[in-house]
Amino acid sequence: MTGLSNPIPHAVMIISIALLLLATVNAHGVEKPFYSDKARGWFWREIIPTSPPELKKTTPEPIKSPSDSKPSAESNTPPTPLSTAWFRSELPNYRDRAIDDPTPQNIHHYFALQRILMDKAHRFTEAAHEVVLSDPTLDENRRRPITTFGAHEANRMAREATEEALQIIALRCGILFAFRSDCRYCDLEAPLIRGLEIRHQIKVIPLSLDGKPLPLGHYPSFRSDHGEAESLGIRTTPAVFLLEPPHRIVPIAEGLVALEELTQRILTMAHRDGYLSDDLWTKTQGELPVATPSLGDALALPHQGPSTAP
């Protein structure tokens, strides 16, 4: 059998669609997350005002009459029965009623409605599958083959792209490897760093935080710490940084990290900072560069096949 194969089990996909149909997002009244307000700093850096702020005099707003606050006709219109909006608002009520009062009738009502919702999800899944098959721009098989032998080839191409990317990074960047002589994990990380240095000719600067060499003899020539650890904020060893000339130092990892993960982090930071092109970065991820449809293309109906002359 040829063509697009579905890697997601049919029943699992239907259940996932059904759950998505019930999902609701409350976009109002959400407290501003910390990370979007991180410029304020941590709470102990908040400046406590010495005097209460001066209150501005404002003119009170006129009281609205009941006729002014009447909801629009659209907000009062109930959703169509058995529509997705209706299921979002009503199915939880049927479920709660069946749990609180598990009579045969209440349980039957809930599971009957759930069956209808599953059928809607099934029809959506079938229709979505047909649309993807008829529109190559929606077929993820273009980015990465789904077949086993195709995936193996994609992995091989990703390894080749990774080798090329690391060679490019080595021409412009270096690695700072910080360690301590009493750090057992540093002795395990050092051969991995050394392997990157030898294989890809990446310049490595070993930095000993306690001024002593590693017990197993890796990097016998090193630099001793003269305040670099404090300025870089190193809390744990081993610590790896990507050196981007002339003065940029990017943290890659703190603690013991496997070679594959270490390589991936280096590629990610190098791509973010413009040392790798988007196409090469995509290839290192085992995917092929595919143009993303524009908004106009996404909203336009795809070609449905050859037209028939009248």
* Domain membership of residue 14 as a residue range: 8-23+79-138
Does residue 265 lie within any of the structural domains?
Answer: yes
Q: pLDDT over 90 for what percent of the chain?
A: 54
Same domain, 130 and 154: no
Express each pLDDT in 126-135 by its tens digit.
999 888 888 7
Alpha helices by DSSP H, listed for the chain, are 10-22, 73-76, 84-100, 104-134, 148-172, 184-200, 228-232, 259-272, 278-284, 295-299
- The answer to whether 41 touches 170, Cβ cutoff 8 Å, is no
Mean pLDDT of the chain: 79
Same domain, 195 and 263: yes
**What local confidence, expressed as pLDDT, does residue 49 receive?**
40
**What local confidence, expressed as pLDDT, does residue 129 receive?**
87
CATH code where residue 179 lies: 3.40.30.10
Number of domains the chain is built from: 2
Express each pLDDT in 205-238 by its tens digit.
999 999 999 999 999 999 999 999 999 999 999 9
Does residue 229 lie within any of the structural domains?
Answer: yes
Q: What value does the mean pLDDT take over residues 197-210? A: 95
What are the CA-CA distances from residue 184 to residues 50, 100, 190, 193, 215 (Å)? Answer: 51, 57, 10, 15, 9
Q: Can you tell me which residue has the tokens 């009738």?
A: 105
Same domain, 94 and 171: no
Same domain, 168 and 213: yes
Same domain, 128 and 186: no
Same domain, 105 and 218: no
